Structure 1
């Protein structure tokens, strides 16, 4: 009898455990279904409000139209007034080349111009006398006092005098051009900054002899910095010039956000302009998603508040719904 009672209690316990396990399975299934539904709704909402509205890349770098300063005349470097990282203003003197040769060339050109002007004055005087002589001979021609041969000779002399004046004018113009060139060469011994910016890559040294086209230094206009963002081609379907861009630099972190505008697209991908472009028409071909540089202009006020330098890493996020 006792054994029967124990068997009944055991069956009841097993039944209760089975029921509890069944309820637990139902609860877990419902929880899983709710989680999947919430994830689906959240994913759809994210795509609707974020994923379909923004495209982003961290393959972006700052750049600027760097002014490459080179020597335009030959000579010895007499002065260097700047160093790397120094800030300069437009028309500040950067480098001075010894002007001894240029000064002598300018004086020589001035002397040549004076000589040419003197020759022109003499030619004009001869021309004037030749015209007077020709006019006198022509007036005497009717009286028979002047022969035809003599008149011809006088006319030839007048023609030669006119030609001499023309040649003298040309000589003066040539000498003036030589003087202008000498003055320009003299002014080029003082090299000034063409823009506001920061000195970079100073290669020139004091006492160095330079020739025309010798690289001296660079001036980086940091106030005119822009960003080249390399987006995948599959991201550019809805991208066009004028759209707004938010950018974050690794230099300042997420606490500083720059606001830019798309200026335009590069003329080709990086692979197309590489030293050895890919030859996709030959051999085995594997499709590789290409990146196209997108130029983004930055807000000058934000650049002034938080200056950047060339080559810094940026993260760019384009708002596809923004309008130009």
Structure 2
């Protein structure tokens, strides 16, 4: 049998046709895949994307604490460094407390003096009151002496009158009359003295009563614990104790130290910034949305947040807390002034605060200033209408 051969021209035509068919099939497959992808994207946009707004202009923030001393003095110890994690109550800085201890000792001495002064005043009042009572007995004694002097005077007067009458008849000598006259004068002087003593005793009693009243008025209605002088001294002592306690500066909450600016030996004044404490368990996100995205954003809506630190593998779940009171440019140091003819509209952004889940923060810690991507679900109606 003779060998049959295919002409080379027909073979090339067959191979070209097969390649063309393969390209057409591949093109059709590509077109179908592209159409399906476009349809999926469109469906996703209609079903999901229209119910959310997103931005990558978002950053981690926190209500940081500025650590400042309440009292002045030289720094004795700095017990933390930048990046150190501390717990609430941990000692951060110690200020030299020598002056504060001296002030406390002085205040305690003043308090003891005030308490002793109150007791002395109270005892003096009681003593003066007893003295006033004793002056009453002095008045009684003086009055008794006055009665005796009055009786002596009356007797001397009767004796004098009788002798004077008898002297006229010559029955009594002149010496007897002189003696009776002298006795009458002495009795009269004794009576005057007794009257003066009664008056003096009464005056002494009145003076003692006034002194006792004045002394008792200082303590009347109060006790040693409620005396104004003691209260003032105790307040000064408490202030001195507080100043001493404030020489030890402690962390107000859990966090990380940043921006440490204080050194040992430095003399600081009250209110001098020493360091910043960042609360890592109370971070939030400030997402700056464009003004056109905020139509349906409401507090209480949920949000999903990812960070550049962990990437898309870690998704934080947050909640919208509130919207800012103004745009960033409105609160700028030099706000934009558009009252000129050369004005170009710039899309503004408004900060939206988003609260993060503390448990997710504990599992994947963040730091202030990190960039975040935020998507807020605006489909939920949390307005209460």
Which of these residues, 207, 231, 235, is aligned with residue 289 of structure 2? 231
TM-score (norm 2): 0.68
Instruction: Please show how residues 150-161 of structure 1 align to structure 2 within 5 Å.
Output: 152-161=206-215
Match of 2:103 in 1: 105
Which of these residues, 240, 249, 253, is aligned with residue 311 of structure 2? 253
CA RMSD of aligned residues (A): 3.1
User: Does structure 1 conserve the Cα–Cα contact (< 8 Å) formed by 2:62 and 2:279?
Assistant: yes
User: Does structure 1 conserve the Cα–Cα contact (< 8 Å) formed by 2:133 and 2:205?
Assistant: no
Distance verdict in 2 for CA 1:86–1:141, change over 3 Å: same
Match of 1:20 in 2: none
- CA–CA separation in structure 2 for the residues paired with 1:178 and 1:105: 10
TM-score (norm 1): 0.80
Instruction: Please show how residues 1-324 of structure 1 align to structure 2 within 5 Å.
Output: 45-134=43-132, 152-165=206-219, 169-281=227-339, 284-322=342-380
- CA–CA separation in structure 2 for the residues paired with 1:38 and 1:274: 48
TM superposition shift of 1:175: 1.1
Q: Which has the higher helix share?
A: 2
Distance verdict in 2 for CA 1:153–1:284, change over 3 Å: farther
- Residue 215 of structure 1: SS of its match in structure 2? coil
TM superposition shift of 1:82: 0.8
TM superposition shift of 1:286: 3.5
- Residue 165 of structure 1: SS of its match in structure 2? coil
TM superposition shift of 1:240: 0.7
Q: How many residues align?
A: 292
- CA–CA separation in structure 1 for the residues paired with 2:290 and 2:378: 15
- CA–CA separation in structure 2 for the residues paired with 1:120 and 1:284: 80
TM superposition shift of 1:282: 5.5
Unaligned 5+ segments in structure 2 are: 1-30, 144-197
Distance verdict in 2 for CA 1:149–1:303, change over 3 Å: same
Which segment is superposed worse, 168-177 or 79-88?
Answer: 168-177
Distance verdict in 2 for CA 1:269–1:148, change over 3 Å: farther
CA offsets per residue over residues 74-132 of structure 1, 9 Å max, x none? 11111111111111111111111111111111111111111111111111111222344
TM superposition shift of 1:262: 0.7
- CA–CA separation in structure 2 for the residues paired with 1:239 and 1:118: 69
Unaligned 5+ segments in structure 1 are: 1-31
User: Does structure 1 conserve the Cα–Cα contact (< 8 Å) formed by 2:327 and 2:351?
Assistant: yes
TM superposition shift of 1:255: 1.5
Distance verdict in 2 for CA 1:281–1:133, change over 3 Å: farther
- CA–CA separation in structure 2 for the residues paired with 1:243 and 1:151: 86
